[in-house]
Structure 1
Amino acid sequence: MKAIVYAQAGLPIDDAASLYEADAPRPTPRSRDLIVKIEAISVNPVDTKVRASAQPPGERILGWDAAGVVAQKGDDASLFEVGDRVWFAGDITRPGTYAEFTAVDERIVGHAPKTLSSAQAAALPLTTITAWELLFDRLAIPEGRGQGQTLLVVGAAGGVGSILVQLARQLTGVTIIGTASRAETKDWIHHLGAHHVVDHSQPLEPQLRALGVPQVDHVISLTHTDSHYSQLVDVLRPQGQFALIDDPVHLDPSLLKRKSISLHWEFMFTRSMYQTPDMVKQHDLLTRVAELIDHGTIKTTIGQHFGAINAENIRRAHALVESHKAVGKLVLEGF
C-alpha cells in the first residue's frame, strides 16, 4: 500500500527526505482491531513533534487523525461492521494514518458523523478527544454546570481550542475567555462561541479586569505555556485549576502552592498507550460528539484543505503547523 513516511528525525520540512512516499505492507488486525481504508486525514502538532524528535528504527508512518471505512475486522471486534464509516485519532505507539490502510483498536473508534464529509470529519477526532478529556475528565466540569465560573483558554483558535470552545459553550455554563493575537483568530474564536477574547501578546490581568473578571476559576493552556505561566498563575483564583497539553521546558509547580492550585496534564494517547480499563470511553465520546454534530450543536473545525494525501502536501501542512499561524485544522483527502 502507499504510505508517507520518515526515516530520519529532525530534518527541516523543506527537505524532501523529511517526509516521502513509500510502499508499505498492509496491516494485519489484532483481535480487537479494525483495518480502515483511509479517506481523509488531518495534520496535528504531535505529527510535527514526533517527526522532529523521535528517531525511528526504520521507516515510520505518522498521522493520528482520520476518517475512513472499515475494510476488515479482528476476530474479537464487535462494535463495527465491514463497510461502516468511522473516525478516530489512533494510538501513537502504532503506525499512523498517512497510508491507504491503518489498523486501530475499535475501542478508540467512533461512527463518523453522517452530516460531514470525510475531510470535515477527519479534522476533529484527536482535538475532540483532547478537549473533551480536558473539560470533563481532567477539570471535571460537570455537563450542564459551571454557571458563575470562568474558563480562560490560551491559544483558543488552534485545533484543540476550536473544539474546546464549542464544547464548553454548548455543554457547560462556564463563561469562556479565549486568547488570540490576530484579527482573524479573534473573529474565529468569537464565531465558535467564546464570550470574550483577550490578546495573549499583551499583559492578561489588565484585560481581564477591564472585562470585570479579576480572577478566573479554570485555565486551559494549549500553547506557549512557558511564556504565560506566571501570568496565568496570577489570574487564577485560590483553589483554581490549571490544565495544559504542551511541553514547557520550565514549569515551576511551587508557584501553585500558595493558592492551592491543582495542575492537570492531558495527553489523549494515555488510554490507548496503556490499554487502560476505561479505554472504550474514547469510543463513547466520539459517538456522542458525532450525534452533537448531526444535530447541529457542534461544527467541524476544518480550517484549510491541502488537497490529496501525498508527501508534498503533507510537508506543506507540517510547515504551516510549525509556523503557529494555522487557524482551525488542516486536512488532506484521497490518494
Structure 2
Amino acid sequence: MKAIVINQYGGSDQLVEKELPTPELADDQVLVELKATSINPIDWKMRAGYLKEMLPYDFPIILGWDAAGIIKKVGTSVTSFSVGDKVLARPATTPRGTYAEYTAIEENLVSKMPDNISFDEAAAIPLTGQTAWVALVEIGKIKEGDRVLIHGGSGGVGHLAIQIAKYFGAYVAATASGKNEELAKSLGADQFINYQEEDFEQILSDFDFVLDTQGGEIQEKSYNILKKGGTLVSIVAPPDEEKAAEKGVLTGYFFLEPTGERMKALAKLIEEDHLKPIVGKTFPFTQEGLREAHDVSENESIPGKVVIHID
C-alpha cells in the first residue's frame, strides 16, 4: 500500500512516500480503506522529534491519527461492523497511523459514519472532537446555564468545543482573530472576543469553565475570569496547581485516550445536526500534499481542520 512516512525526525521535508505492506489484522480489528485523514499538532510534534521520549517508535513511522473510510475486512471476533461500512475513528496511538491507504483499528475505537457528512468532514472530527468532549463533558461536566470560555474558538478543537458547549446549554464566549468573528458566532458563540484588539481578562468575569488551547500568558490570565469552584482545562500545558489553589479553581490536563463510545456520542450529535466539522483546507494524499499540509497546520491560522483527501 502507499503510505507517507518519516524515516527520521526533522522538518516537513522528512515526509516521504513509501510502499509498505497492508496491515495484518488482529482478531479484534477492522481494516479500513482510508478516504480521508487530517492533521493535528501531535503529527508535526512527532515529526519534529518533540515526542520521541514519550512515544519512542522505530522508523519508518506513519503519522496521522484521524480515520475516515470504508471497512474492507474484519477480524474474527468483530461483531459490530461489516465489510462496506463507512466509519470514522481516532485510532490508538501507534507508529502505523493514517497517512496510508489502509489502517487497522480496534473495533472498540470505531463508530459508523453519519450519512450527513463527507469523508473529508468525518476526518476532521475524531481527535479534536474527542479532545473537546473530554475537556468539556468528562472533566468540566458542563451543564445548562454554565458560562464557558473557549480560547481559539475557530481552531480544530475550538470550533467543535463551541458547538458541544451550546448543545449542553452553556453560555459561550470565544476568542479568535477578528476575521473569524462571523464563523464563531455562526457556530453558536454568544460573545466574541477579538484577541487582536481586546483583552478577555478585562471583559469577562464569573465564568464556570475555561478551555485553554493556547497556554502561556493566556492560561495565566484565564484563572482571573473564573469564579471560585470553576474549572480550567488545558490541552497544551499542565495548569499551575499552586495558582489554581490560590484562586479556588479546579484544573485538568490530559493526553487523549480515545474510545469508541465517545466517538459514537459525537457521531450522534452530527447526525442530529448539533455538530458540524469545518474543513479549512484540503490537500491531496501525496508526499508534497502532506508536506504542505504540515506547514499550513504548523504555521498558519486556519479555521477548522486541515484535511488530506485520499482517492
Question: TM-score w.r.t. structure 1 length?
Answer: 0.86
User: What residue number does 2:285 align with?
Assistant: 309
What is the match of residue 226 of structure 1? 216
Match of 1:89 in 2: 90
Residue 196 (structure 1) aligned with residue 191 (structure 2): yes
Q: Does the aligned pair in 2 maintain the 1:65–1:123 contact within 8 Å?
A: yes
**Aligned counterparts of 1:296 and 1:235: Cα–Cα separation in 2:** 31
**Partner secondary structure for residue 92 of structure 2:** coil
Amino acid at match of 1:217: D
Determine helix, strand or coil for the equivalent of 2:211.
Answer: strand
- Listed as ranges, the matches of 1:1-335 within 5 Å are 1-9=1-9, 11-13=10-12, 15=13, 18-53=14-49, 54-55=51-52, 56-141=57-142, 145-147=143-145, 149-170=146-167, 172-180=168-176, 182-201=177-196, 202-208=198-204, 214-223=205-214, 225-247=215-237, 251-268=239-256, 270-271=257-258, 282-306=259-283, 308-335=284-311
Distance in 2 separating the partners of 1:294 and 1:256: 38
Task: Answer yes or no: is the 8 Å Cα contact 2:86–2:113 preserved in 1.
Answer: yes
Distance in 2, matches of 1:79 and 1:37, equals 17
Q: Given that residues 139 and 241 in structure 1 are in contact (C-alpha distance below 8 angstroms), is that contact kept between their aligned partners in structure 2?
A: yes
Q: Cα offset for 1:94?
A: 4.3
Aligned position for 1:276: none
What is the Cα deviation at residue 291 of structure 1? 2.9
What is the rounded CA distance, in whole Å, between the counterparts of 2:183 and 2:246 in structure 1?
A: 36
Task: String of CA shifts for 1:219-252, please: whole Å, max 9, x gaps.
Answer: 11012x112122111111111101011136xx53
CA contact (8 A) 1:138 1:266 kept: no
Distance in 2 between the 1:108 and 1:99 partners?
Answer: 18
- What does the per-residue CA deviation read over 1:236-285, in whole Å, with 9 as the maximum and x for residues that have no partner? 1111101011136xx532111122211111322x25xxxxxxxxxx3223
* Partner SS for 2:302: coil
Question: How far apart are residue 152 of structure 1 and its match?
Answer: 0.8
Question: 4+ residue runs of structure 1 moved beyond 6 angstroms?
Answer: none
C-alpha distance in structure 2 between counterparts of 1:196 and 1:111, whole Å: 34
CA contact 1:111–1:286 (8 Å) conserved in 2: no
Give, in whole Å, the separation in 2 of the partners of 1:267 and 1:185. Answer: 28
Judge conservation of contact 2:124–2:305 (CA < 8 Å) in 1: yes
For residue 178 of structure 1, what is the amino acid of its counterpart? A
The verdict on how the C-alpha distance between 1:259 and 1:34 changes in structure 2, with shifts beyond 3 A counting, is same
Identity %: 31
Instruction: Report the AA paired with residue 61 of structure 1.
Output: I
8 Å CA contact 1:42–1:65 kept in 2: the answer is yes
Contact 1:165 1:194 in 2 (8 A): yes
Paired with 2:119 and 2:240, the residues of 1 have a C-alpha distance of 42
- SS state of the match for residue 159, structure 1? coil
CA deviation profile, 1:191-220 (whole Å, cap 9, x unmatched):
111101113344322222xxxxx2211111
In 2, the alpha carbon distance for the partners of 1:3 and 1:92 equals 17
Q: Partners of 2:45 and 2:155 in 1: how far apart? A: 16
CA distance in 2, matches of 1:196, 1:332: 32
Letter in 2 for 1:219: V
**Separation in 2 of the partners of 1:321 and 1:334?**
18
Give 1:111 deviation, angstroms: 0.2
- Is there any run of 5+ residues in structure 1 with no aligned partner, and where? 209-213, 272-281
Per-residue deviation, 1:130 = 1.0
Task: Assess if the C-alpha contact under 8 Å between 1:154 and 1:200 holds in 2.
Answer: no
What do residues 32-70 of structure 1 show as CA deviations (whole Å, max 9, x unaligned)? 111111111111111111111245422100001121011
Tell me which residue corresponds to 1:279. none
8 A contact 1:156–1:222 mirrored in 2: no
